[in-house]
Structure 1
Amino acid sequence: MSALMAERSIQAAKQRLTPRPTPRETVSQTITMAWRALKKMRRNPEQFFDVIIQPLLFTAMFSYIFGGAVSGSVKDYLPIVIPGILAQTALTACMATGTQMREDMEKGVFDRFRSLPMSRIAPLAGPMLADVLRYGIAATLTLATGFAMGYRPGGGVLGITLGWLLVIIAGWSMSWIFAWLGTIARSAQAVQGIGMMIMFPLTFLSDAFTPKDTMPGWLQHFVAINPVTLVIHAVRDLINDGNITANVAWALLGCLVIVAIFAPLAIRSYSRKV
Protein backbone atom coordinates (compact mmCIF):
# COMPACT_ATOMS: atom_id res chain seq x y z
CA MET A 1 0.00 0.00 0.00
CA SER A 2 2.78 2.42 0.89
CA ALA A 3 4.59 1.63 -2.38
CA LEU A 4 1.41 2.38 -4.32
CA MET A 5 0.94 5.67 -2.51
CA ALA A 6 4.54 6.58 -3.19
CA GLU A 7 4.14 5.81 -6.88
CA ARG A 8 1.05 7.97 -7.08
CA SER A 9 2.85 10.79 -5.31
CA ILE A 10 5.65 10.59 -7.86
CA GLN A 11 3.14 10.66 -10.72
CA ALA A 12 1.38 13.65 -9.20
CA ALA A 13 4.69 15.47 -8.84
CA LYS A 14 5.54 14.78 -12.47
CA GLN A 15 2.15 16.10 -13.56
CA ARG A 16 2.69 19.30 -11.60
CA LEU A 17 6.03 19.78 -13.34
CA THR A 18 4.58 19.01 -16.78
CA PRO A 19 3.34 22.13 -18.60
CA ARG A 20 -0.34 22.29 -19.42
CA PRO A 21 -1.23 21.31 -23.00
CA THR A 22 -1.93 24.19 -25.34
CA PRO A 23 -5.35 24.45 -27.03
CA ARG A 24 -3.81 23.12 -30.24
CA GLU A 25 -2.35 20.13 -28.39
CA THR A 26 -5.68 19.52 -26.68
CA VAL A 27 -7.48 19.40 -30.03
CA SER A 28 -4.83 17.08 -31.47
CA GLN A 29 -5.03 14.75 -28.46
CA THR A 30 -8.83 14.72 -28.62
CA ILE A 31 -8.72 13.73 -32.29
CA THR A 32 -6.21 11.00 -31.47
CA MET A 33 -8.51 9.61 -28.78
CA ALA A 34 -11.43 9.80 -31.21
CA TRP A 35 -9.42 7.80 -33.74
CA ARG A 36 -8.68 5.21 -31.05
CA ALA A 37 -12.41 4.92 -30.31
CA LEU A 38 -13.21 4.51 -34.01
CA LYS A 39 -10.66 1.71 -34.33
CA LYS A 40 -12.20 0.07 -31.29
CA MET A 41 -15.64 0.27 -32.93
CA ARG A 42 -14.27 -1.30 -36.10
CA ARG A 43 -12.93 -4.24 -34.13
CA ASN A 44 -16.18 -4.55 -32.15
CA PRO A 45 -18.98 -4.10 -34.72
CA GLU A 46 -21.58 -5.11 -32.15
CA GLN A 47 -21.31 -1.52 -30.85
CA PHE A 48 -23.33 -0.50 -33.93
CA PHE A 49 -26.23 -2.87 -33.29
CA ASP A 50 -28.23 -0.36 -31.26
CA VAL A 51 -27.92 2.36 -33.92
CA ILE A 52 -28.65 0.02 -36.83
CA ILE A 53 -31.38 -2.32 -35.59
CA GLN A 54 -33.23 -0.05 -33.16
CA PRO A 55 -34.14 2.73 -35.65
CA LEU A 56 -35.53 0.19 -38.10
CA LEU A 57 -37.43 -1.73 -35.43
CA PHE A 58 -38.83 1.22 -33.49
CA THR A 59 -39.86 3.22 -36.55
CA ALA A 60 -41.85 0.33 -38.02
CA MET A 61 -43.21 -0.91 -34.69
CA PHE A 62 -44.48 2.40 -33.28
CA SER A 63 -45.82 3.57 -36.63
CA TYR A 64 -47.93 0.49 -37.25
CA ILE A 65 -49.06 0.14 -33.63
CA PHE A 66 -50.00 3.76 -32.85
CA GLY A 67 -50.51 5.23 -36.32
CA GLY A 68 -54.17 4.34 -36.74
CA ALA A 69 -55.12 5.17 -33.14
CA VAL A 70 -53.36 8.55 -32.96
CA SER A 71 -53.58 9.98 -36.47
CA GLY A 72 -55.99 7.71 -38.31
CA SER A 73 -53.35 6.22 -40.60
CA VAL A 74 -49.68 5.33 -40.59
CA LYS A 75 -48.87 7.90 -43.27
CA ASP A 76 -50.40 10.76 -41.26
CA TYR A 77 -48.63 9.56 -38.11
CA LEU A 78 -45.11 9.54 -39.61
CA PRO A 79 -44.57 13.35 -39.35
CA ILE A 80 -45.26 13.01 -35.61
CA VAL A 81 -43.37 9.85 -34.77
CA ILE A 82 -40.23 10.17 -36.94
CA PRO A 83 -38.86 13.23 -35.05
CA GLY A 84 -39.70 11.46 -31.79
CA ILE A 85 -37.77 8.34 -32.77
CA LEU A 86 -34.86 10.49 -33.94
CA ALA A 87 -34.60 11.95 -30.43
CA GLN A 88 -35.09 8.55 -28.81
CA THR A 89 -32.38 6.82 -30.82
CA ALA A 90 -29.93 9.65 -30.13
CA LEU A 91 -30.58 9.35 -26.40
CA THR A 92 -30.20 5.57 -26.51
CA ALA A 93 -26.99 5.78 -28.52
CA CYS A 94 -25.35 8.30 -26.18
CA MET A 95 -26.13 6.03 -23.22
CA ALA A 96 -23.48 3.62 -24.54
CA THR A 97 -20.86 6.36 -24.12
CA GLY A 98 -20.88 6.13 -20.34
CA THR A 99 -20.95 2.33 -20.41
CA GLN A 100 -17.90 2.07 -22.65
CA MET A 101 -16.08 4.69 -20.60
CA ARG A 102 -16.74 2.81 -17.36
CA GLU A 103 -15.45 -0.41 -18.93
CA ASP A 104 -12.22 1.33 -19.96
CA MET A 105 -11.78 2.69 -16.45
CA GLU A 106 -12.31 -0.77 -14.96
CA LYS A 107 -9.62 -2.18 -17.26
CA GLY A 108 -7.13 0.48 -16.17
CA VAL A 109 -6.95 2.13 -19.59
CA PHE A 110 -7.62 5.58 -18.19
CA ASP A 111 -4.92 5.09 -15.55
CA ARG A 112 -2.42 4.89 -18.39
CA PHE A 113 -3.85 8.01 -19.98
CA ARG A 114 -3.63 9.83 -16.67
CA SER A 115 0.11 9.11 -16.45
CA LEU A 116 0.73 10.72 -19.84
CA PRO A 117 1.29 14.46 -20.39
CA MET A 118 -2.05 14.97 -22.06
CA SER A 119 -5.13 17.12 -21.58
CA ARG A 120 -7.63 15.92 -18.99
CA ILE A 121 -10.54 16.43 -21.36
CA ALA A 122 -9.10 14.44 -24.28
CA PRO A 123 -9.87 10.92 -22.93
CA LEU A 124 -13.49 12.01 -22.41
CA ALA A 125 -14.09 14.21 -25.44
CA GLY A 126 -12.34 11.87 -27.88
CA PRO A 127 -14.73 8.90 -27.56
CA MET A 128 -17.72 11.24 -27.58
CA LEU A 129 -16.46 12.83 -30.78
CA ALA A 130 -16.20 9.36 -32.32
CA ASP A 131 -19.75 8.57 -31.19
CA VAL A 132 -21.00 11.34 -33.48
CA LEU A 133 -20.67 8.70 -36.21
CA ARG A 134 -23.11 6.47 -34.34
CA TYR A 135 -25.63 9.30 -33.93
CA GLY A 136 -25.39 10.06 -37.64
CA ILE A 137 -25.99 6.42 -38.58
CA ALA A 138 -29.02 6.19 -36.27
CA ALA A 139 -30.57 9.41 -37.59
CA THR A 140 -29.94 8.45 -41.22
CA LEU A 141 -31.47 4.99 -40.86
CA THR A 142 -34.51 6.40 -39.03
CA LEU A 143 -35.19 8.86 -41.84
CA ALA A 144 -34.54 6.22 -44.50
CA THR A 145 -37.03 3.86 -42.84
CA GLY A 146 -39.59 6.66 -42.71
CA PHE A 147 -39.07 7.42 -46.41
CA ALA A 148 -39.57 3.75 -47.26
CA MET A 149 -42.86 3.79 -45.31
CA GLY A 150 -44.16 6.85 -47.15
CA TYR A 151 -42.84 9.75 -45.07
CA ARG A 152 -42.56 12.88 -47.22
CA PRO A 153 -41.39 15.84 -45.06
CA GLY A 154 -42.12 19.33 -46.27
CA GLY A 155 -38.89 20.89 -45.05
CA GLY A 156 -36.94 20.01 -48.16
CA VAL A 157 -33.29 19.04 -48.30
CA LEU A 158 -32.21 21.99 -46.14
CA GLY A 159 -34.79 21.35 -43.43
CA ILE A 160 -33.99 17.64 -43.31
CA THR A 161 -30.26 18.35 -43.12
CA LEU A 162 -30.67 20.89 -40.32
CA GLY A 163 -32.96 18.53 -38.38
CA TRP A 164 -30.43 15.73 -38.84
CA LEU A 165 -27.65 17.97 -37.53
CA LEU A 166 -29.76 19.06 -34.54
CA VAL A 167 -30.31 15.43 -33.55
CA ILE A 168 -26.55 14.80 -33.65
CA ILE A 169 -25.86 17.93 -31.58
CA ALA A 170 -28.50 16.88 -29.04
CA GLY A 171 -27.06 13.37 -28.81
CA TRP A 172 -23.51 14.68 -28.33
CA SER A 173 -24.59 17.14 -25.64
CA MET A 174 -26.60 14.54 -23.72
CA SER A 175 -23.66 12.13 -23.91
CA TRP A 176 -21.89 14.33 -21.34
CA ILE A 177 -24.53 13.26 -18.81
CA PHE A 178 -23.66 9.62 -19.37
CA ALA A 179 -19.95 10.38 -19.44
CA TRP A 180 -20.34 11.86 -15.97
CA LEU A 181 -22.28 8.80 -14.87
CA GLY A 182 -19.48 6.65 -16.24
CA THR A 183 -16.99 8.39 -13.97
CA ILE A 184 -19.04 8.10 -10.78
CA ALA A 185 -20.73 4.69 -11.14
CA ARG A 186 -19.06 1.58 -9.77
CA SER A 187 -19.59 -0.62 -12.82
CA ALA A 188 -20.67 -0.58 -16.44
CA GLN A 189 -23.87 -2.41 -15.46
CA ALA A 190 -24.67 0.38 -13.01
CA VAL A 191 -24.21 2.98 -15.75
CA GLN A 192 -26.53 1.04 -18.01
CA GLY A 193 -29.16 0.65 -15.30
CA ILE A 194 -29.09 4.33 -14.35
CA GLY A 195 -29.13 5.26 -18.03
CA MET A 196 -32.29 3.25 -18.61
CA MET A 197 -33.98 5.01 -15.69
CA ILE A 198 -33.09 8.33 -17.32
CA MET A 199 -33.89 7.38 -20.90
CA PHE A 200 -37.37 5.94 -20.45
CA PRO A 201 -38.95 8.87 -18.53
CA LEU A 202 -37.35 11.47 -20.80
CA THR A 203 -38.41 9.65 -23.96
CA PHE A 204 -41.86 8.34 -23.15
CA LEU A 205 -42.95 11.24 -20.90
CA SER A 206 -42.84 13.54 -23.91
CA ASP A 207 -45.02 14.07 -26.95
CA ALA A 208 -42.80 11.91 -29.11
CA PHE A 209 -45.54 9.37 -29.77
CA THR A 210 -48.82 10.91 -28.60
CA PRO A 211 -50.10 14.53 -28.42
CA LYS A 212 -49.56 16.31 -25.13
CA ASP A 213 -53.20 17.42 -25.00
CA THR A 214 -54.40 13.86 -24.37
CA MET A 215 -52.35 13.55 -21.16
CA PRO A 216 -53.37 14.52 -17.60
CA GLY A 217 -52.75 18.16 -16.68
CA TRP A 218 -49.96 17.43 -14.19
CA LEU A 219 -48.14 15.34 -16.79
CA GLN A 220 -48.48 18.04 -19.42
CA HIS A 221 -46.40 20.38 -17.24
CA PHE A 222 -43.54 17.86 -17.10
CA VAL A 223 -43.78 17.19 -20.83
CA ALA A 224 -43.55 20.91 -21.53
CA ILE A 225 -40.22 21.30 -19.70
CA ASN A 226 -38.78 17.97 -20.79
CA PRO A 227 -35.57 18.72 -22.78
CA VAL A 228 -36.35 15.86 -25.15
CA THR A 229 -39.67 17.54 -25.96
CA LEU A 230 -37.79 20.72 -26.93
CA VAL A 231 -35.60 18.75 -29.31
CA ILE A 232 -38.58 16.92 -30.81
CA HIS A 233 -40.48 20.15 -31.47
CA ALA A 234 -37.42 21.74 -33.04
CA VAL A 235 -36.81 18.73 -35.29
CA ARG A 236 -40.47 18.72 -36.36
CA ASP A 237 -40.30 22.40 -37.27
CA LEU A 238 -37.15 21.85 -39.33
CA ILE A 239 -37.96 18.58 -41.07
CA ASN A 240 -41.73 18.88 -41.54
CA ASP A 241 -41.97 22.62 -42.26
CA GLY A 242 -38.43 23.83 -42.96
CA ASN A 243 -38.83 26.63 -40.41
CA ILE A 244 -36.16 27.82 -37.96
CA THR A 245 -38.42 28.68 -35.05
CA ALA A 246 -38.00 29.57 -31.38
CA ASN A 247 -38.15 25.85 -30.64
CA VAL A 248 -34.83 25.42 -32.45
CA ALA A 249 -33.26 28.19 -30.39
CA TRP A 250 -34.58 26.69 -27.15
CA ALA A 251 -33.31 23.24 -28.12
CA LEU A 252 -29.83 24.58 -28.88
CA LEU A 253 -29.83 26.55 -25.64
CA GLY A 254 -30.81 23.42 -23.73
CA CYS A 255 -27.94 21.50 -25.34
CA LEU A 256 -25.54 24.28 -24.38
CA VAL A 257 -26.75 24.26 -20.77
CA ILE A 258 -26.31 20.48 -20.54
CA VAL A 259 -22.74 20.69 -21.80
CA ALA A 260 -21.96 23.64 -19.53
CA ILE A 261 -23.15 21.69 -16.48
CA PHE A 262 -22.08 18.11 -17.10
CA ALA A 263 -18.81 18.55 -19.02
CA PRO A 264 -17.04 20.18 -16.03
CA LEU A 265 -18.62 17.61 -13.68
CA ALA A 266 -17.37 14.74 -15.85
CA ILE A 267 -13.85 16.17 -16.15
CA ARG A 268 -13.62 16.87 -12.43
CA SER A 269 -14.93 13.43 -11.47
CA TYR A 270 -12.60 11.77 -13.99
CA SER A 271 -9.60 13.61 -12.56
CA ARG A 272 -10.47 12.55 -9.02
CA LYS A 273 -11.39 8.99 -9.92
CA VAL A 274 -8.34 8.22 -11.96
Structure 2
Amino acid sequence: MSMTNTYKDWLEAELQETLDEDMELELEDAVLSAEIRRIYRSHHPDQMDRKTYFHELLRLQSELIRLQDWVSHHQEKVVVIFEGRDSAGKGGAIKRITQRLNPRVARVVALPAPSDREKTQWYFQRYVPHLPAGGEIVLFDRSWYNRAGVERVMGFAGEDQVEQFFQDVPEFERMLVRSGIRLVKYWFSVTDEEQQMRFQIRIHDPLKQWKLSPMDLQSRIRWEAYTKAKEDMFERTNIPEAPWYIVPGNDKKRARLNCIDHLLGLIPYGDVPHEEVLLPDRVFNPDYEREVLPRELYVPQKY
Protein backbone atom coordinates (compact mmCIF):
# COMPACT_ATOMS: atom_id res chain seq x y z
CA MET A 1 0.00 0.00 0.00
CA SER A 2 1.38 3.43 -0.96
CA MET A 3 2.21 6.11 1.60
CA THR A 4 -0.49 8.34 0.03
CA ASN A 5 -3.20 5.72 0.54
CA THR A 6 -2.00 5.02 4.07
CA TYR A 7 -2.22 8.72 4.92
CA LYS A 8 -5.67 8.97 3.32
CA ASP A 9 -6.94 6.04 5.36
CA TRP A 10 -5.48 7.54 8.53
CA LEU A 11 -7.08 10.92 7.81
CA GLU A 12 -10.48 9.32 7.21
CA ALA A 13 -10.14 7.45 10.50
CA GLU A 14 -9.27 10.68 12.29
CA LEU A 15 -12.30 12.45 10.81
CA GLN A 16 -14.53 9.55 11.84
CA GLU A 17 -13.14 9.73 15.37
CA THR A 18 -13.85 13.46 15.42
CA LEU A 19 -17.42 12.79 14.36
CA ASP A 20 -17.72 10.08 17.03
CA GLU A 21 -16.62 12.59 19.71
CA ASP A 22 -19.30 15.02 18.57
CA MET A 23 -21.90 12.28 18.49
CA GLU A 24 -20.94 11.29 22.02
CA LEU A 25 -21.63 14.83 23.20
CA GLU A 26 -24.88 14.90 21.25
CA LEU A 27 -26.07 11.68 22.90
CA GLU A 28 -26.75 13.67 26.05
CA ASP A 29 -29.55 15.33 24.10
CA ALA A 30 -30.79 12.07 22.60
CA VAL A 31 -31.09 9.67 25.55
CA LEU A 32 -34.74 10.43 26.24
CA SER A 33 -37.87 8.38 26.43
CA ALA A 34 -39.67 8.17 23.10
CA GLU A 35 -42.59 10.22 24.40
CA ILE A 36 -40.45 13.07 25.75
CA ARG A 37 -38.43 13.09 22.52
CA ARG A 38 -41.64 13.30 20.48
CA ILE A 39 -42.96 16.20 22.58
CA TYR A 40 -39.65 18.05 22.43
CA ARG A 41 -39.37 17.71 18.66
CA SER A 42 -42.96 18.85 18.18
CA HIS A 43 -41.99 22.09 19.94
CA HIS A 44 -38.83 22.46 17.81
CA PRO A 45 -39.95 21.73 14.24
CA ASP A 46 -37.24 23.85 12.58
CA GLN A 47 -34.19 22.30 14.23
CA MET A 48 -30.93 22.58 12.31
CA ASP A 49 -30.08 19.33 10.58
CA ARG A 50 -27.19 17.44 12.13
CA LYS A 51 -24.92 17.53 9.07
CA THR A 52 -25.09 21.31 8.80
CA TYR A 53 -24.61 21.70 12.53
CA PHE A 54 -21.49 19.50 12.64
CA HIS A 55 -20.02 21.19 9.57
CA GLU A 56 -20.40 24.63 11.11
CA LEU A 57 -19.28 23.47 14.55
CA LEU A 58 -16.05 21.99 13.20
CA ARG A 59 -15.39 25.12 11.15
CA LEU A 60 -15.87 27.36 14.19
CA GLN A 61 -13.78 25.06 16.39
CA SER A 62 -10.92 25.31 13.90
CA GLU A 63 -11.16 29.09 14.29
CA LEU A 64 -11.11 28.69 18.08
CA ILE A 65 -7.79 26.88 17.70
CA ARG A 66 -6.45 29.86 15.73
CA LEU A 67 -7.73 32.13 18.50
CA GLN A 68 -6.04 29.96 21.12
CA ASP A 69 -2.72 30.11 19.27
CA TRP A 70 -3.01 33.89 18.94
CA VAL A 71 -3.79 34.31 22.64
CA SER A 72 -0.86 32.11 23.59
CA HIS A 73 1.58 33.77 21.16
CA HIS A 74 0.69 37.36 22.14
CA GLN A 75 0.22 36.59 25.85
CA GLU A 76 -3.34 37.90 25.74
CA LYS A 77 -5.74 37.45 28.67
CA VAL A 78 -9.37 36.55 27.97
CA VAL A 79 -12.27 36.06 30.40
CA VAL A 80 -15.65 34.85 29.16
CA ILE A 81 -18.56 34.81 31.61
CA PHE A 82 -21.53 32.51 31.02
CA GLU A 83 -24.69 33.33 32.93
CA GLY A 84 -28.35 32.54 32.39
CA ARG A 85 -31.35 30.58 33.55
CA ASP A 86 -30.84 27.04 34.78
CA SER A 87 -30.88 24.64 31.80
CA ALA A 88 -30.37 27.53 29.35
CA GLY A 89 -27.43 25.81 27.63
CA LYS A 90 -24.38 27.46 29.20
CA GLY A 91 -22.65 24.14 29.87
CA GLY A 92 -23.27 22.82 26.37
CA ALA A 93 -21.78 25.94 24.80
CA ILE A 94 -18.74 25.78 27.09
CA LYS A 95 -18.17 22.11 26.20
CA ARG A 96 -18.13 22.89 22.49
CA ILE A 97 -15.79 25.86 22.94
CA THR A 98 -13.22 23.89 24.95
CA GLN A 99 -13.65 20.52 23.22
CA ARG A 100 -10.57 20.86 20.96
CA LEU A 101 -8.57 23.45 22.85
CA ASN A 102 -5.47 22.97 24.95
CA PRO A 103 -6.56 22.81 28.63
CA ARG A 104 -3.32 24.57 29.56
CA VAL A 105 -4.55 27.59 27.58
CA ALA A 106 -8.34 27.42 27.92
CA ARG A 107 -9.82 26.35 31.26
CA VAL A 108 -13.26 26.36 32.83
CA VAL A 109 -14.00 27.74 36.29
CA ALA A 110 -17.17 26.54 38.01
CA LEU A 111 -16.92 27.41 41.68
CA PRO A 112 -19.08 25.71 44.34
CA ALA A 113 -21.04 27.60 46.98
CA PRO A 114 -18.72 29.75 49.13
CA SER A 115 -17.29 28.23 52.29
CA ASP A 116 -17.84 29.82 55.71
CA ARG A 117 -14.41 31.41 55.44
CA GLU A 118 -15.06 32.75 51.93
CA LYS A 119 -18.32 34.31 53.13
CA THR A 120 -16.27 36.62 55.38
CA GLN A 121 -13.92 37.70 52.57
CA TRP A 122 -14.24 40.56 50.12
CA TYR A 123 -16.91 39.28 47.76
CA PHE A 124 -14.71 39.20 44.64
CA GLN A 125 -11.75 37.64 46.44
CA ARG A 126 -12.44 34.01 45.63
CA TYR A 127 -12.76 34.77 41.93
CA VAL A 128 -9.49 36.70 41.60
CA PRO A 129 -7.13 33.65 41.84
CA HIS A 130 -8.87 32.16 38.80
CA LEU A 131 -8.30 35.15 36.52
CA PRO A 132 -5.99 34.49 33.56
CA ALA A 133 -2.30 35.14 33.26
CA GLY A 134 -0.83 36.05 29.88
CA GLY A 135 -1.65 33.47 27.24
CA GLU A 136 -4.75 32.09 28.95
CA ILE A 137 -8.50 31.96 28.29
CA VAL A 138 -10.77 31.47 31.30
CA LEU A 139 -14.44 30.58 30.93
CA PHE A 140 -16.57 31.15 34.03
CA ASP A 141 -19.54 28.78 34.24
CA ARG A 142 -21.40 31.23 36.47
CA SER A 143 -19.40 33.97 38.09
CA TRP A 144 -19.49 36.84 40.56
CA TYR A 145 -22.96 37.55 39.17
CA ASN A 146 -24.28 34.87 41.52
CA ARG A 147 -24.82 37.72 43.94
CA ALA A 148 -27.16 39.48 41.53
CA GLY A 149 -29.05 36.26 40.80
CA VAL A 150 -29.37 33.18 42.97
CA GLU A 151 -27.97 34.78 46.14
CA ARG A 152 -30.41 37.67 45.88
CA VAL A 153 -33.47 35.65 44.89
CA MET A 154 -32.87 32.89 47.45
CA GLY A 155 -32.08 35.32 50.25
CA PHE A 156 -28.44 34.25 50.68
CA ALA A 157 -27.43 37.91 50.36
CA GLY A 158 -29.23 40.88 51.90
CA GLU A 159 -30.34 43.88 49.89
CA ASP A 160 -27.52 45.95 51.36
CA GLN A 161 -25.00 43.37 50.10
CA VAL A 162 -26.66 43.31 46.69
CA GLU A 163 -26.57 47.11 46.50
CA GLN A 164 -22.89 47.08 47.45
CA PHE A 165 -22.26 44.53 44.71
CA PHE A 166 -23.97 46.72 42.12
CA GLN A 167 -21.85 49.67 43.17
CA ASP A 168 -18.62 47.65 43.12
CA VAL A 169 -18.93 45.41 40.06
CA PRO A 170 -18.66 48.10 37.35
CA GLU A 171 -15.43 49.41 38.84
CA PHE A 172 -14.13 45.89 39.45
CA GLU A 173 -14.69 45.03 35.79
CA ARG A 174 -13.17 48.31 34.62
CA MET A 175 -10.09 47.40 36.65
CA LEU A 176 -9.91 44.04 34.91
CA VAL A 177 -10.17 45.66 31.50
CA ARG A 178 -7.54 48.28 32.39
CA SER A 179 -5.22 45.45 33.45
CA GLY A 180 -5.38 44.07 29.90
CA ILE A 181 -8.08 41.43 30.29
CA ARG A 182 -10.56 41.06 27.45
CA LEU A 183 -13.85 40.57 29.34
CA VAL A 184 -16.89 39.13 27.57
CA LYS A 185 -20.24 38.51 29.29
CA TYR A 186 -22.94 36.21 27.87
CA TRP A 187 -26.46 35.68 29.14
CA PHE A 188 -28.20 32.55 27.82
CA SER A 189 -31.92 33.17 27.64
CA VAL A 190 -34.73 30.61 27.43
CA THR A 191 -38.48 30.96 27.68
CA ASP A 192 -40.53 29.75 30.63
CA GLU A 193 -41.97 26.91 28.54
CA GLU A 194 -38.56 25.79 27.26
CA GLN A 195 -37.07 25.67 30.74
CA GLN A 196 -40.01 23.63 32.02
CA MET A 197 -39.57 21.15 29.17
CA ARG A 198 -35.84 20.80 29.80
CA PHE A 199 -36.42 20.24 33.50
CA GLN A 200 -38.92 17.50 32.67
CA ILE A 201 -36.30 15.88 30.42
CA ARG A 202 -33.77 15.95 33.26
CA ILE A 203 -36.27 14.42 35.68
CA HIS A 204 -36.99 11.51 33.35
CA ASP A 205 -33.46 10.96 32.06
CA PRO A 206 -31.23 9.08 34.55
CA LEU A 207 -28.11 10.44 32.78
CA LYS A 208 -29.23 14.00 33.46
CA GLN A 209 -30.81 13.84 36.90
CA TRP A 210 -27.52 14.91 38.50
CA LYS A 211 -27.98 18.28 36.78
CA LEU A 212 -31.07 19.00 38.87
CA SER A 213 -30.41 20.63 42.23
CA PRO A 214 -32.78 22.05 44.84
CA MET A 215 -31.78 25.50 43.57
CA ASP A 216 -32.87 24.51 40.06
CA LEU A 217 -36.29 23.50 41.31
CA GLN A 218 -36.61 26.75 43.25
CA SER A 219 -35.82 28.64 40.06
CA ARG A 220 -39.07 27.30 38.60
CA ILE A 221 -41.06 28.49 41.59
CA ARG A 222 -39.36 31.90 41.55
CA TRP A 223 -39.30 32.48 37.80
CA GLU A 224 -40.64 36.01 38.09
CA ALA A 225 -38.22 36.93 40.89
CA TYR A 226 -35.33 35.74 38.72
CA THR A 227 -36.69 37.81 35.83
CA LYS A 228 -36.75 40.94 37.97
CA ALA A 229 -33.24 40.22 39.27
CA LYS A 230 -31.98 39.74 35.70
CA GLU A 231 -33.48 43.05 34.58
CA ASP A 232 -31.87 44.88 37.52
CA MET A 233 -28.55 43.21 36.76
CA PHE A 234 -28.57 44.32 33.13
CA GLU A 235 -29.52 47.86 34.08
CA ARG A 236 -26.80 48.21 36.71
CA THR A 237 -23.92 46.27 35.11
CA ASN A 238 -24.17 46.74 31.33
CA ILE A 239 -21.18 49.05 30.99
CA PRO A 240 -19.36 50.12 27.79
CA GLU A 241 -16.13 48.47 28.93
CA ALA A 242 -17.90 45.12 29.50
CA PRO A 243 -21.36 44.97 27.93
CA TRP A 244 -23.77 42.07 28.21
CA TYR A 245 -24.56 39.95 25.15
CA ILE A 246 -27.79 37.93 25.18
CA VAL A 247 -27.83 34.52 23.48
CA PRO A 248 -31.35 33.25 22.64
CA GLY A 249 -31.09 29.66 23.82
CA ASN A 250 -34.34 27.87 22.94
CA ASP A 251 -32.53 26.20 20.03
CA LYS A 252 -29.42 24.64 21.60
CA LYS A 253 -27.50 24.02 18.39
CA ARG A 254 -28.02 27.50 16.98
CA ALA A 255 -27.25 29.05 20.38
CA ARG A 256 -23.87 27.27 20.51
CA LEU A 257 -22.92 28.25 16.98
CA ASN A 258 -24.08 31.84 17.38
CA CYS A 259 -22.20 32.25 20.66
CA ILE A 260 -18.92 30.86 19.29
CA ASP A 261 -19.21 32.91 16.10
CA HIS A 262 -19.90 36.08 18.11
CA LEU A 263 -16.99 35.45 20.49
CA LEU A 264 -14.62 34.99 17.57
CA GLY A 265 -15.84 38.27 16.10
CA LEU A 266 -15.05 40.21 19.27
CA ILE A 267 -11.33 39.38 19.34
CA PRO A 268 -8.92 40.55 16.59
CA TYR A 269 -7.02 37.28 16.38
CA GLY A 270 -4.97 36.22 13.39
CA ASP A 271 -2.40 33.74 12.24
CA VAL A 272 0.80 33.46 14.23
CA PRO A 273 4.16 32.02 13.17
CA HIS A 274 4.56 28.30 13.67
CA GLU A 275 7.71 26.24 13.47
CA GLU A 276 7.42 23.33 11.09
CA VAL A 277 6.80 20.15 13.07
CA LEU A 278 8.97 17.25 11.98
CA LEU A 279 8.83 13.82 13.57
CA PRO A 280 12.38 12.78 14.51
CA ASP A 281 13.67 9.38 13.57
CA ARG A 282 13.36 6.68 16.19
CA VAL A 283 16.70 5.80 17.79
CA PHE A 284 17.23 2.06 17.94
CA ASN A 285 19.60 0.53 20.48
CA PRO A 286 20.62 -2.98 19.39
CA ASP A 287 21.35 -3.92 23.01
CA TYR A 288 17.88 -2.92 24.28
CA GLU A 289 15.48 -5.74 25.07
CA ARG A 290 11.95 -4.95 26.16
CA GLU A 291 10.94 -6.80 29.31
CA VAL A 292 7.61 -8.60 29.53
CA LEU A 293 5.53 -7.02 32.28
CA PRO A 294 3.35 -9.09 34.65
CA ARG A 295 -0.11 -9.74 33.24
CA GLU A 296 -1.85 -8.37 36.37
CA LEU A 297 -0.59 -4.87 35.55
CA TYR A 298 -2.77 -4.70 32.43
CA VAL A 299 -6.34 -3.46 32.33
CA PRO A 300 -8.68 -6.38 31.47
CA GLN A 301 -9.61 -6.42 27.77
CA LYS A 302 -13.41 -6.58 28.14
CA TYR A 303 -14.16 -4.70 24.92
**TM-score normalised by length of structure 1:** 0.32
With structure 2 as the length reference, what TM-score do the two structures score?
0.29
Question: Which protein is bigger by CA-based radius of gyration?
Answer: 2
Structure with greater strand share of residues = 2
